[in-house]
């Protein structure tokens, strides 16, 4: 009985890297390449429209990193990450048995990673890639930007543009440059990724960019209000005030 070929896309900003993967896949008729993408935006669009079963994904790319591509996808295919050395990512991938190819890699290593990925796809036991990526990011550098998908558009909001972030159930409301944007994420998860020298949890529902703070006023006993430079008022809890004092 003939097995249906698995669909795959290749995502890398370097043509040479894409051509190498293409060459290695030429000896695997069970894999059908349905798209090649030179950047993360193309990748998000291709995965959304084509729904491939496997993705070869470079991590270090301009515009959007491989991690950010995963973050923007509603459903991720099985992923083989392709990367130059990144100690944090590789450690997280090893712990969770996520397949990755460390540049430069040869045909034997490629075939090994492909074999593991195909086995998981066939057995319908995919790894929760988003959770693994979130852990890898927590081990790395502070978040420099927040990505928000609004329909077919992707907004890139740099950390220094943030005013504050508010929790709204399973979502966060990101306030930046006079506008608010909703993103499905827990405030506690975002807090772990932000630079704790610039962003402080002032209340269970708010994270503040301390550069936007104008003053703190006493509202009632053990209750304070943060007044931002644009006049916005945010509640400050007792523990939030203690954290603010440490930074100011």
Q: 223 to each of 156, 207, 220, 248, how far by Cα in Å?
A: 34, 17, 5, 18
In terms of Cβ atoms closer than 10 Å to its own Cβ (0-12, 13-18, 19+), residue 212 is: middle
Q: Which helix (H) or strand (E) holds 34?
A: strand 31-37
Scanning the structure block, which residue is given the tokens 């790395």? 140
**Bridge partners, residue 206, by sequence:** 166, 203
In angstroms, the CA 78 to CA 9 distance is 11
Q: Which CATH superfamily is domain 145-247 in?
A: LytTr DNA-binding domain (2.40.50.1020)
Do 73 and 47 meet the contact criterion of CB atoms below 8 Å apart? yes
Domain boundaries, the chain: 6-138, 145-247
Written as tens digits, the pLDDT of the chain (248 aa) is 456 889 999 999 999 999 999 999 999 999 999 999 999 999 999 999 999 999 999 988 888 888 889 888 888 899 998 887 666 566 666 655 578 888 889 999 999 999 999 998 888 877 777 777 777 766 667 888 899 988 778 889 999 999 999 999 889 999 999 899 999 889 998 998 899 999 999 999 999 999 999 999 987 777 899 999 999 999 999 999 999 988 88
Provide the edge-to-edge strand list for the sheet that holds 100-102: 31-37, 6-11, 54-58, 78-83, 100-102
Q: Which CATH superfamily is domain 6-138 in?
A: Response regulator (3.40.50.2300)
Q: Per the confidence metrics, is the pTM higher than 0.85? A: no
Residue of 96, 101, 170 lying closest to 129 (CA atoms):
96
Residue of 17, 107, 99 lying closest to 60 (CA atoms):
17
């Amino acid at each position: 009985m003939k097995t249906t070929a698995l669909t795959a896309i290749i995502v890398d900003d370097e043509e040479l890297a894409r051509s190498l993967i293409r060459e290695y896949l030429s000896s695997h008729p069970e894999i059908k390449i349905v798209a090649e993408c030179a950047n993360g935006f193309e990748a998000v669009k291709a995965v959304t429209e084509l729904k491939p079963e496997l993705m070869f994904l470079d991590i270090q790319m301009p515009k959007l990193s491989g991690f950010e591509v995963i973050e923007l996808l509603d459903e991720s295919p099985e992923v083989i990450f392709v990367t130059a050395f990144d100690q944090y990512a590789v450690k997280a991938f090893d712990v969770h048995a996520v397949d990755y190819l460390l540049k430069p890699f040869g045909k034997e290593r490629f075939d090994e990673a492909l074999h593991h990925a195909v086995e998981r796809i066939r057995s319908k036991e995919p790894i929760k890639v988003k959770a693994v990526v979130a852990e890898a990011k927590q081990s790395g550098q502070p978040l420099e930007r927040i990505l928000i998908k609004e329909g077919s558009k992707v907004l890139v909001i740099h950390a220094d543009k943030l005013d504050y972030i508010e929790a709204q159930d399973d979502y966060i409301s990101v306030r930046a440059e006079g506008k608010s944007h909703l993103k499905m994420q827990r405030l506690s998860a975002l807090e772990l990724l932000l630079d704790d020298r610039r962003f402080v949890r002032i209340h269970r529902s708010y994270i503040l960019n301390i550069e936007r703070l104008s003053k703190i006023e006493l509202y009632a006993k053990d209750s304070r209000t943060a007044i931002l430079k644009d006049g916005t008022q945010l509640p400050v809890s007792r523990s939030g005030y203690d954290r603010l004092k440490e930074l100011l």
